[in-house]
Structure 1
Amino acid sequence: MATVSDILAQRFGPRFDTGKSQREQHAHTTTWLPSQAPDGVVFPQDVDEVREIVRICADHRVPIVPFGAGTSLEGHVNAPLGGISVDMRDMDRVLEVNAEDMDCRVQPGVTRKALNTHLRDTGLFFPIDPGADASLGGMASTRASGTNAVRYGTMKDVVLALQAVMPSGEVVRTARRARKTSAGYDLTRLMVGSEGTLGLITELTLRLTGIPEAMSSAVCSFPSVEAACDAVIATFQFGLPMARIELMDAMSVRAVNAYSGLSLPQTPLLLLEFHGSEAGVAEQAATFGEVARDHGSTAFEWTTDPAERTRLWQARHDAYWAIRALRPDSDALATDVCVPLSRLAEAVTRSQQECERIGLTGPVLGHVGDGNFHVTLMIAREDEAERAKAREYLSWLAELAISMEGTCTGEHGIGQGKRAYLEAELGAGAVNMMRAIKTAVDPLNIMNPGKIL
């Protein structure tokens, strides 16, 4: 009897691969979780091929694991039960841009950078920026956000509609292009953040934004993380519009300086960006400078020079690699939580103190405009004692955030790594409701099993 691999090999030829290196690449995960390779990898080129793959796998009850750019951090692309990895690499076309309506329709393999390159002559841009050049299908699946979220929202705010192949092989479209609707259940937002557990996204309709007339970036140093966080809170209470507001602690600044060739003061700092008119961004920067001085800022510089702005933000996006370079013989374990803004200073300070108490190195970065921060633990390879401490710390940090009415994950998703905290955060009733939806939509449990639930 023919296996799924036999059928897919016959149907897709060289676009189906069971080689060891390809399978291992599609299980790669940039976290502490062990890699779990699929049995094969297939590269569809359109929705009809995705539907065919799903039906073949459903007929044989073989798991399906969607794969975008492989940049997720919580084991989303692992295949704990084996199965087929469906790589959307070849579904990478921008299908249409509706400049007057400020939206576009894309396939899931389009990356955010590729989309913005395509849009550069339209006066529009796609604002969600998680740092990595992730695929848009993957970003929707994990409800990604990033540095621009404080002004432009997250993926749940910019996905107007999507098309998905469900576990039965049926193709579903969740909405039209209208900017709002009250037509039935909000299936779009049910799919956004579902991490591939309900279906495979094959098309997205995305809200776009006009490119601002002017942008300015600023660097503001503080004597402590607490002072920087207090300045963030005061900025929003003042009503100052911010496009980006990022925190780096002293250790992160030291890493970024060494890796990116910068000379920032090696104290906690905020990296900011203002969008608007020429006069507006100048006024916003000046006003922020006054707020920062009231909270003890020790240095404040701002620029509208595009090259300098790009250099600063590229350094921020490279911070993960910069931190890894601090201890080249170690693995980096990046985690995130999100708390109400009023608890941010306490949460960040306590996270640093706990790292020091248990003897771990963990630089802190944060999208602090929305209370979201990241701790990157540096763990010596093959050191089981340090790994045990890291697991202890992850649990402690998730529980701290939940105790502050926050969340165990602001943007990385649940995947495999944070399943243990979901019920503590949302309660058994909510998790049971998710489980009921999953069972109803995917009764054979073939869609990315072992994730979220």
Structure 2
Amino acid sequence: MTFFEELNQIIPKKQISKNQTLLEQHSRDESYHQPCLPEAVVFPASTAEVSEIMKLAARHQMPVVPFGYGSSLEGNIIPYSGGISLDFSLMNNIITLRENDFLVTVQPGVTRSQLNKELKKYGMFFSVDPGADATLGGMAATNASGTSAVRYGIMRDQVRDMEVVLADGMVIHTGSLAAKSSSGYNLNGLFVGSEGTLGIFTELTLRIHGISEHTLAARASFQTLDESVQAVISLLQAGIPIARVELVDEESMKQINRYSETDYPEGPTLFLEFHGNKEGLKQDVALTKELMDDHHCSALHFESDTAAMNRLWEARHHVAYAYIHNHQGKKQMVTDVCVPISEMSGAIRDARKAVEASGLPGGIVGHVGDGNYHIILMVDPENREDLQQADKVNEHIVTYALERGGTCTGEHSVGVGKKKYQEKEHGDALLVMRKLKQALDPNGILNPGKVLP
């Protein structure tokens, strides 16, 4: 029997689709990378079904690409080797909430907004905020981070345990419920960020946090990018427990105003957020004002009203969509590098020059509190000159980052877009990665063609 004939005996036919529209939806992510259709989209409803699907795929050497929400930015979920796209939208249950342990166990199809809506009832929240309403399985697969990483950490810091189905159908757990362990190898660290190339996540146990007594947001405008970045470094050096600090350059502020119908000053801008108790925040705000003045901040505006804070962060989160909306017919290419904090000022300055030299519309945004920044470039995917210029910008800033001890991707992960930089970044360690891939996926059926060059 063929793979699909056997598959029909494992799961209900309604969970297998070759509908052209569905195939096209699973052929692309939100990047500029070329789409490619899977042979079918399969919707598992349980870990047991995923295990049986993988056993069958191993026998037939059928490629399997896990699919969450399709919001990745480096072609991570595009099935270039064909095979099946494993869509986890049916596995979207919050399984267990252990509020006294500050832990929650979820299926991979749960989105972060879905989880936070439920956690809010208990005065808690999940901290990783990449902007897109991605699935938690996808966020773990790419080791996502985002605006709140400067205080709460990245996705890898939140994962306590995972249930993983391996390429041969074996089901394992990678951790425990304990806050720490020195037992065995750190499998959580291995699987988080592996992009579905080593195993498929079917459950995740994640750290959650209590909602702060008070939250305060701020917007700080500057005359130059240098001054804005140096202001962030001063904030960190002063030990202010800032929850979010985001940089948006002048061009991106213009896009925000056009898209969100706001009237923010169109210069380099920091978006900030503070969490804490009332008295503690007073001290943090006072010191922040002093430090902003030291770096010639031209305007500092605080927001404590929930609606106003939401508008502020919606504007920041919608920068990419603002560029798309304001450049009809073009696709976005979003770069993603991370450098040591001490290198941020030079990196941002150099990136701005690279954008201007390319002649492409684009701007810079960044999670400057941890050295991570992005260039948003608008390209015509059918225009070879556009793609060459965009690739030249990407190559330039990656080289700049690697030469200064940084990384080619801070949070978008490798996919296909960053494969060519892996050897330069990792050297002989890449050989170890290949051995791990060979040991766990000897037939190369798990998301083939991703991560490893």
**Is TM more than 0.5 here?**
yes
Matches within 5 A, 1:115-154: 115-154=115-154
Contact 2:355–2:363 at 8 Å: present in 1 too?
no
TM-score, structure 2 normalization: 0.98
Partners of 1:46 and 1:275 lie apart in 2 by 38
Amino acid at match of 2:39: D
Partners of 1:194 and 1:374 lie apart in 2 by 21
Equivalent residue, structure 1, for 2:449: 450
Partners of 1:47 and 1:91 lie apart in 2 by 9
Matches within 5 A, 1:96-111: 96-111=96-111
Partners of 2:441 and 2:217 lie apart in 1 by 46
Contact 1:93–1:107 at 8 Å: present in 2 too?
yes
Amino acid at match of 1:310: N
Partners of 2:440 and 2:333 lie apart in 1 by 33
Partners of 2:48 and 2:367 lie apart in 1 by 39
Equivalent residue, structure 2, for 1:90: 90
Equivalent residue, structure 1, for 2:52: 52
Amino acid at match of 1:178: A
Equivalent residue, structure 2, for 1:437: 436
Deviations 1:355-385 (A, max 9, x none): 2123222211101000101101011352211
Matches within 5 A, 1:42-81: 42-81=42-81
Segment drifting more, 184-193 vs 374-383? 374-383
Contact 1:5–1:40 at 8 Å: present in 2 too?
no
Partners of 2:180 and 2:12 lie apart in 1 by 40
Deviations 1:296-322 (A, max 9, x none): 110001121111001111111111101
Equivalent residue, structure 1, for 2:16: 16
Check if 1:310 corresponds to 2:310: yes
Shift of 1:84: 0.8
Partners of 2:77 and 2:102 lie apart in 1 by 32
Shift of 1:339: 0.5
Shift of 1:326: 2.6
Deviations 1:211-242 (A, max 9, x none): 00000000000001111001111111111111
Contact 2:76–2:450 at 8 Å: present in 1 too?
yes
Matches within 5 A, 1:20-419: 20-419=20-419
Segment drifting more, 112-121 vs 8-17? 8-17
Contact 1:104–1:205 at 8 Å: present in 2 too?
yes
Q: Tell me the secondary structure at the aligned position of residue 348 of structure 1.
A: helix
Partners of 2:451 and 2:443 lie apart in 1 by 16
Partners of 2:223 and 2:320 lie apart in 1 by 23
Contact 1:164–1:171 at 8 Å: present in 2 too?
yes
Amino acid at match of 1:231: A
Shift of 1:391: 1.5
Partners of 1:182 and 1:370 lie apart in 2 by 27
Q: Tell me the secondary structure at the aligned position of residue 121 of structure 1.
A: helix
Segment drifting more, 440-449 vs 5-14? 5-14
Contact 1:218–1:285 at 8 Å: present in 2 too?
no
Shift of 1:6: 2.6
Amino acid at match of 2:436: I
Query: Which stretches of structure 1, 4 residues or longer, exceed 3 Å deviation after superposition?
Result: none
Contact 1:30–1:333 at 8 Å: present in 2 too?
no
Unaligned 5+ runs, structure 1 = none
Segment drifting more, 143-152 vs 330-339? 330-339
Q: Tell me the secondary structure at the aligned position of residue 357 of structure 2.
A: helix
Contact 2:32–2:381 at 8 Å: present in 1 too?
no
Partners of 1:321 and 1:182 lie apart in 2 by 44
Partners of 2:366 and 2:110 lie apart in 1 by 27
Partners of 1:86 and 1:329 lie apart in 2 by 30
Partners of 1:24 and 1:46 lie apart in 2 by 25
Q: Tell me the secondary structure at the aligned position of residue 362 of structure 2.
A: coil
Q: Tell me the secondary structure at the aligned position of residue 41 of structure 1.
A: strand
Amino acid at match of 1:185: Y
Amino acid at match of 1:173: H
TM-score, structure 1 normalization: 0.98
Contact 2:358–2:390 at 8 Å: present in 1 too?
no
Amino acid at match of 2:439: A
CA RMSD, Structure 1 to Structure 2 (Å)? 1.0
Q: Tell me the secondary structure at the aligned position of residue 120 of structure 1.
A: helix
Quote the sequence identity (%). Answer: 43
Shift of 1:330: 1.6
Q: Tell me the secondary structure at the aligned position of residue 365 of structure 2.
A: strand
Partners of 1:283 and 1:43 lie apart in 2 by 52
Q: Tell me the secondary structure at the aligned position of residue 204 of structure 1.
A: strand
The count of residues paired between Structure 1 and Structure 2 equals 451
Partners of 1:84 and 1:32 lie apart in 2 by 22
Equivalent residue, structure 2, for 1:426: 426
Q: Tell me the secondary structure at the aligned position of residue 374 of structure 1.
A: strand
Deviations 1:185-206 (A, max 9, x none): 0011111001000110000000
